[in-house]
Amino acid sequence: MISRPESRSIPPADLAGLERDLRQLSLRYMRQSMELPLNHNDQAVRAKLYAAANALQQAVREGMVADAIFEIGSNLIGCEQMALLVTCKKQDRVAFSGSSDFNPQQLEAIRRNAKRILEEAPADSIYIKSGPEDRSFLSSLGISARIPFWLDRATKGAIVFFNLLPQRNGLDAGDRELLKLLCAYTGPCLAANKIKHQETMGWVQL
């Protein structure tokens, strides 16, 4: 189970510090990936982590963090139906945006259940659907994974992954590494970008 990060592992929230942190992380993953032979299981994981850290670093600079998250989901994890939920300062409502294939049923699931989606499983842990036998509430909404993210120790929102692409049978250990990266960096990246609520698809009252 992956829970709220300890203070020493919280990424910096200022733009320059965050960019530097992501650049160093990206270079480290690149080196690790290049040192491993292609037939090593971890090589592909390190390559994806490199690409993801690189995408977040660029996104922070360009103010395109939500797009980068959807890009990582689509191209590195294999999920094109995603939603990003961001709680507002007073914690009484949620702004949400969806990726390209996010559909009306999923939109309705978010509108009706945003509070429970944020709080289930438990709230400060990454939820990954365990398989067809998973009878949890999140699974019943068609959710494959829910990744919480934080800012200043307060839960700031979640990334919701709905259906995976047909060639993905489920999320594996490599995906879990990517989800951990998103869990740690989404909050600070969005904060450094001064989250633009006008770009969201809508609001839900909690």
Partner 1 sequence: MSDTQYKSQRKTAQQSGQKILLVDDSSTTLLIEEMTLREHTQYELVTARDGEEAVEKAIAEQPNLILMDVVMPRMNGFDACREMRKYEALRKVPIIMVTSRGESFNVEQGFESGCNDYVTKPINGAELVEIVNGYLVAQGQSQ
Q: Does 9 bind partner 1 (CB under 8 A)?
A: no
Q: Is 38 in the site for partner 1 (CB under 8 A)?
A: yes
105 CB neighbour count, 10 Å cutoff: 12
The whole-angstrom separation of Cα 195 and Cα 200 is: 10
What are the tokens at 133? 């036998």
Of the pair 151, 182, the CB lying nearest partner 1 is at 182
Among positions 102-161, residues that touch partner 1 (CB under 8 A) are none
DSSP state of 9: G
Could you give the CA distance from residue 91 to residue 93 in angstroms, rounded to a whole number? 6
Binding mask 158-177 for partner 1 (x = CB under 8 A): -------xxx----------
CB of 86 to partner 1, least distance (A): 22
Q: At what angle do helices 15-35 and 41-62 cross, to 10 degrees?
A: 160
- Judged by CB under 8 A, the residue of 35, 108, 152, 199 near partner 1 is 35
Can residue 83 be called a binding residue for partner 1 (CB under 8 A)? no
Q: Which lies closer to partner 1 via its Cβ, residue 157 or residue 174?
A: 174
* CA separation for the pair 197, 56 (Å, rounded): 19
Q: Whole-angstrom Cα distance, residue 179 to residue 194?
A: 22
Give min distance, CB of 28 to partner 1, in A: 14
Provide the minimum distance between the beta carbon of 167 and partner 1 in the complex, in angstroms, as a whole number: 5
**From the CB of 51, what's the least distance to partner 1, in Å?**
4
At closest approach, how far in Å is the CB of 192 from partner 1?
A: 19
**Measured between alpha carbons, how far apart are the two ends of the chain, in Å?**
26
Number of residues that bind partner 1 (CB under 8 A): 29
x-marked contacts with partner 1 along 48-77 as a string, rule CB under 8 A? x-xxx-xx--x------------xx-xxxx
Piece of 47-55, 109-117, 151-159, 198-206 that binds partner 1 (CB under 8 A): 47-55
Helices (H), the chain: 15-35, 41-62, 65-72, 104-119, 137-140, 173-192
Return the sign of the alpha-carbon dihedral for residues 131, 166, 82, 9. Answer: positive
Question: Which residues form the interface with partner 1 (CB under 8 A)?
Answer: 30, 33-39, 43-44, 47-48, 50-52, 54-55, 58, 71-72, 74-78, 80, 165-167
